[in-house]
Amino acid sequence: MAKKRPQAKAGKPQISDGEIPVVGAREPCPCGSGRRYKACHGRAASHAVTELVQRPFEGLAGECDWVALRELVPAATVPLTLKGGLPEGVPAVTLATVLPMAWPALRREDGSVLLGLQNDTPSGDLSRDLADTLKRALIAEPGSPVAAQRAEPDGVRLQDLLDPAAAFEPEVHTGFEFWVPDAEGAATEVAASLERANAAAIPTVRLKSVDSSYWCETPEKNHLRWVMPHAEEKLLDALARLHAAGTSSLGEGTRLVGSFRAHGLTVPVWDLPSDMGAEECEKPAAEFAERLAGALASEEPLTAEERRARGGLTNRQVTLS
């Protein structure tokens, strides 16, 4: 015979959903239902923490660049503008791709805040995790790093903290000297982390002629990686049209080789000759943007050749997140 589920005691006051504290998974739920927390209100809390948000940066200014800085760019910074302005004692808030010792955030001696973007986060909502780190950094003691911590399931997100009207203009760096005002006087562990990070950084340049497009140099060949805001299916159709027509390259010796999926957006990737620098990419990229706009506007069904090209592009997709 199945065991009877324990009943809440008569007359026990019930707690509203908004007042229910977090307790151990196997403890009785504080709401008074008689069930364990993990089978009652803990279920919704757990789901909120682990559910993957496909586009965590959606609604933020510069969504495509947020994705690029999270997944593709080694060293970059962006000034952030908070809704309502900066708190007293915080002269600036800056987003950084990576911080020393993989710190989630750092409150500098002068009170300014650096927020790291390329850290592992405990939940499926990167925006919520980063917002929680930022909130704690704003009140941290000057001169101290901010440790990782699980955010509340109903906590604020970056979209709640940042001014959506403010510009988002990344500055790409050749190294990580922006970590400390005086690299020579940095603590031993920070100096060692700086040396390791600089040694591993791939030379990267953000193009000026088109948005969210990044050239990078590797030993054998160079690449252009371009984060695009268009819906994936529509973008793949457009790329297939250009590929079938022989107009998907960026010039002689270049080739569209596939794409990444990252945080809900698609990132086409081109192989470039090793002697093709970022400046040489500017004009071909702008011309490609015009061809892509025309292909995106087409409502014609794909031809057999275009469908084959699309299949090839789809097979060469790699998911980063």
Cα torsion 159, 84, 139, 73 to 10°: value is 40
- The CATH number linked to 234 is 3.30.1460
Query: Interior CA angle at 272 toward 270 and 274, to 5°?
Result: 150
CB 104 within 8 A of CB 146: yes
Q: Total domain count for the chain?
A: 2
What's residue 180's pLDDT? 78
Classify residue 252 by its DSSP letter. Answer: T
The structure tokens listed for 155 are: 């906590």
pLDDT band (50, 70, 90) for residue 43: low
What's residue 220's pLDDT? 87
Last residue within a domain, chosen from 172, 200, 228: 200
CB 111 within 8 A of CB 248: no
Is 28 part of a structural domain of the chain?
no
Average pLDDT over residues 271-295: 98
Q: Kindly state whether residues 112 and 177 are assigned to the same domain.
A: yes
Least confident of 30-39, 124-133, 249-258, 292-301: 30-39
Is 6 part of a structural domain of the chain?
no
Is 13 part of a structural domain of the chain?
no
Query: Interior CA angle at 214 toward 209 and 215, to 5°?
Result: 100
Average pLDDT over residues 169-180: 92
Strands (E), the chain: 76-79, 93-96, 105-107, 113-116, 144-146, 171-172, 204-206, 213-217, 222-226, 255-262, 265-272, 317-319
Which pLDDT tens digit goes with each residue over 9-18? 444 444 555 5
Query: Which has more pLDDT, 46 or 202?
Result: 202
What one-letter code names the amino acid at 265?
L
User: Do the bridges between strand 113-116 and strand 93-96 make them parallel or antiparallel, or are there none, so unpaired?
Assistant: parallel
Report the phi/psi class of residue 34: left, alpha or beta, with left for phi > 0 and alpha for psi in -120 to 50. Answer: left
List Cβ neighbours of 250 (8 Å cut-off, separation of 6 or more).
Answer: 224, 270, 272, 281, 284, 285, 288
Is 45 part of a structural domain of the chain?
no
Q: Kindly state whether residues 147 and 213 are assigned to the same domain.
A: no
Q: Kindly state whether residues 233 and 194 are assigned to the same domain.
A: no
DSSP string, 107-151: E-TTS-EEEESSS--SSS-HHHHHHHHHHHHHTSPTTEEE---PP
Q: Kindly state whether residues 116 and 244 are assigned to the same domain.
A: no
What is the domain range of residue 266? 204-319
Is 10 part of a structural domain of the chain?
no
Average pLDDT over residues 154-183: 91
Cα torsion 90, 70, 56, 298 to 10°: value is 130
Query: Which has more pLDDT, 8 or 183?
Result: 183
Which pLDDT tens digit goes with each residue over 223-269? 999 999 999 999 999 999 999 999 999 999 999 999 999 999 999 99
Q: Kindly state whether residues 284 and 191 are assigned to the same domain.
A: no
pTM for the full predicted model: 0.83
Query: Which has more pLDDT, 171 or 120?
Result: 171
Closest CA to 113 of 150, 78, 74: 78
What's residue 51's pLDDT? 77
What one-letter code names the amino acid at 214?
Y
Q: Kindly state whether residues 97 and 172 are assigned to the same domain.
A: yes
Is 255 part of a structural domain of the chain?
yes
| CA 142 centroid distance within chain | 26
What's residue 4's pLDDT? 42
Average pLDDT, the chain: 88
Is 29 part of a structural domain of the chain?
no
Average pLDDT over residues 67-89: 97
Last residue within a domain, chosen from 200, 228, 244: 200
How many CB atoms lie under 10 A from the CB of residue 232?
15
CA-based radius of gyration for the chain? 24
What one-letter code names the amino acid at 192?
A
Sheet with strand 265-272: strands edge to edge: 204-206, 213-217, 222-226, 265-272, 255-262, 317-319
What's residue 196's pLDDT? 87
